[in-house]
Amino acid sequence: MPISLAELAERTGAKLRGDGTVLLSRVATLDSAGPGGIAFLANPKYRFQLASTRASAVIVAPELASETSLPALLGVNPYAIYAKVAAILHPPPATAAGTHPSAIVDVSAKVAVSAAIGPLTVVGPDAVIGERARIGAGSVVGAGASIGDDAVLHANVTVYDRCVVGPRSILHSGAVIGADGFGMAEEQGRWIKIAQIGRVVLGADVEVGANTTIDRGAIDDTVIENDVKLDNQIQVGHNCRIGAHTAIAGCVGIAGSTRIGRNCKIGGAAMIGGHIEICDDAVVSGGTAVSASITVPGLYTGTVLALPHRQWQRVQAGVRRLPELLLRIRRLEGAQTTPADTLGEKREES
């Protein structure tokens, strides 16, 4: 159902400029929007599209408002306003409460009447499914696991025994919560498996991307605090702790017993070593390898910029020679300074 621009302004906290009676039914980009659509400008590099957009309204920062005559929502963070508007105009489809006939729910499980349990889902003994929770088709909730109120498990999510998913959290398809951590002891060339007896505990408002895996703790729990956002195909090792409001992009690997602080941002394909700490408010660029603790907030980058292949080969050839070149420099410095030092000593003696 279309919603007026004035209502959107009231519900998002944005400032209304222009005709508040304009009706909106969808969000769109500046380039693709048409009548009934509301577009947003978050990146100033696209400001030229304001003049040609066919949107019925736009979301812009106050300093760019003069560049369009369209009705607008104004705010210092247009992208955040857009996120709120998108949630209002495109709510998730309603899911009827109840348990599908093909689901297998243990008699000892506690499932809220308002919850929705999809086809071929398995809910184990003593599991708890909270109010209005949605468990997608083919998902498995293990024995003693707990799914909080309003949580969403999309199709084919696995939550192992005793793990906890907090309220309003979202787990995308293929996510695995609570698999065994990679704990092995070596003896006489053979590996002895170490029992993983901890849990995974997800806080409130956590989002876990598709095919992301979070290992259970070896002894203590692996903990993902409130409002953490994990992208697709991330590996979180056992006994890790990720602080509230941290966001981690796809394909990041986090080795066991690592602690990541609050409000951190970690770029895609970064590799985080085990048994280290990353302080609050740290930013790690994509592709960066972090092998030691980060104790001071700021931006950390350890990537090699892309070069034409032949140039990259020449650069790498030079890098391989660095130890040899450093040794030659030290020898040259020694040859240049030793005679002068000796001469100075002789003058002092005389």
Tell me how far CA of residue 333 lies from CA of 119, 321, 336, in angstroms.
76, 18, 5
Please report, for the domain that includes residue 200, its CATH number.
2.160.10.10
Counted domains in the chain: 3
Task: Tell me the per-residue pLDDT of 115-156, one tens digit each, with 9 for 90 and over.
Answer: 999 999 999 999 999 999 999 999 999 999 999 999 999 999
Residue that terminates a domain, selected from 283, 300, 317:
300
Residues 235 and 336 in one domain: no
Residues 246 and 296 in one domain: yes
Q: Is 245 an annotated catalytic residue? A: no
pLDDT confidence band for 82 (50 / 70 / 90): very high
Domain that holds residue 275: 98-300
Pick the catalytic residue from 238, 245, 275, 309: 238
pLDDT confidence band for 83 (50 / 70 / 90): very high
Residues 106 and 130 in one domain: yes
Q: What is the mean pLDDT of residues 98-117?
A: 98
Task: Pick the range with the lowest mean pLDDT from 48-52, 212-216, 230-234, 245-249.
Answer: 48-52
Does 310 or 44 have the greater pLDDT score? 310
Residue 45 CB neighbour total at 10 angstroms:
7
Q: What is the mean pLDDT of residues 12-24?
A: 98
SS3 of residue 108 by DSSP: coil
pTM value? 0.89
Structure tokens that stand for 47 in this block: 């400001």
Residues 110 and 78 in one domain: no
Residues 107 and 166 in one domain: yes
CB 213 within 8 A of CB 231: no
Look at the chain and count its residues: 350
**Helices and strands, counts by H and E, the chain:** 4, 39
End-to-end CA distance of the chain: 100
pLDDT at position 94: 86
Tell me how far CA of residue 164 lies from CA of 73, 102, 171, 177, 238, in angstroms.
39, 24, 12, 9, 15
pLDDT at position 337: 59
Please report, for the domain that includes residue 31, its CATH number.
3.40.1390.10
